[in-house]
Amino acid sequence: MNDAQFIILLEGCRNQNRKSQENLYKNLYGYAMNISLRYSKDNEEATEVVNDAFMKIFRDILKFSVPEKLVYPVFKSWIKKITIYTAIDYFRANEKHKYHEDINDYSQSHNYENNVLNDLSYENLIKIIQQLSPAYKTVFNLFVIDGFTHEEIAKKLGVSEGTSKSNL
């Protein structure tokens, strides 16, 4: 899809055209799903987060504006931010207190062979990340993958900076 086509698609979404919304969803679903999988415990939860994120995107699309030359990359960045925040909101609403596991207990109960780094693929990495407790997984993703500071993480999750650092 070229820039002109994307701008037309975006305008259709702003006018609440269902076909445009469907096309945008289909074109960017995989992108949002890859982000969501890092924060979710499984595909089902990731799908729920993505669907919630797209509902927010369609609701707030009138707030999105940027010069025409940068529309697609900035829009993808906007989607990434909304997906991450939706995953955090999901975590806070549904999972925050379900799983509390000490890091030492976790490492003893999840013995990986020494050669795991040799066989590590993207899919394996996502599976390993999904096995972390929700608190550890969220902080890991925000800090290591998405580049948030501990101060930003603490504010978004409603915890102290020390808790963020400890969870990492």
Which domain, by its residues, includes 147?
100-168
Claim to verify: residue 134 and residue 89 sit in the same structural domain:
no
DSSP SS3 for 34: helix
* Residues 123/34, Cβ–Cβ less than 8 Å: no
Measure the CA–CA gap between 140 and 164, rounded to whole angstroms: 9
Q: Are residues 56 and 87 in the same domain?
A: yes
Q: How many domains, in total, are found in the chain?
A: 2
Structure-token pair, residue 129: 């990340």
Contact 82, 53 (CB under 8 A): yes
Which pLDDT value is given to residue 158? Answer: 86
| Residues 21-49: tens digit of each pLDDT | 999 999 999 999 999 999 888 899 999 99
Strands (E), the chain: none
3 and 69 together in one domain? yes
pLDDT of 128 > 60? The answer is: yes
User: 95, 121, 149 — which closes off a domain?
Assistant: 95
Q: What is the pLDDT of residue 17?
A: 96
- The whole-number pLDDT of residue 96 equals 53
Predicted local distance difference test score (pLDDT) of residue 153: 87
Say if residue 82 is in the same domain as residue 153. no
Whether the pLDDT of residue 112 is over 60: the answer is: no
**Do residue 76 and residue 155 come from a single domain?**
no
- What pTM value is reported for the model? 0.69
CATH (domain of 87): 1.10.1740.10
Q: Which has the higher per-residue pLDDT, 19 or 107? A: 19
Are residues 86 and 107 located together in one domain of the fold?
A: no
- Stronger pLDDT, 108 or 121, i.e. the higher one: 121
Q: What pLDDT does 105 receive?
A: 54
Average pLDDT for residues 12-19, to the nearest whole number?
Answer: 95
Residues listed for the chain? 168
CATH number, position 168? 1.10.10
**Percent of the chain predicted with pLDDT > 70:** 83
Q: Are residues 67 and 7 in the same domain?
A: yes
76 and 104 assigned to the same domain: no
Kindly report, residue by residue over 77-105, the tens digit of the pLDDT: 999 999 999 998 988 887 655 555 555 55
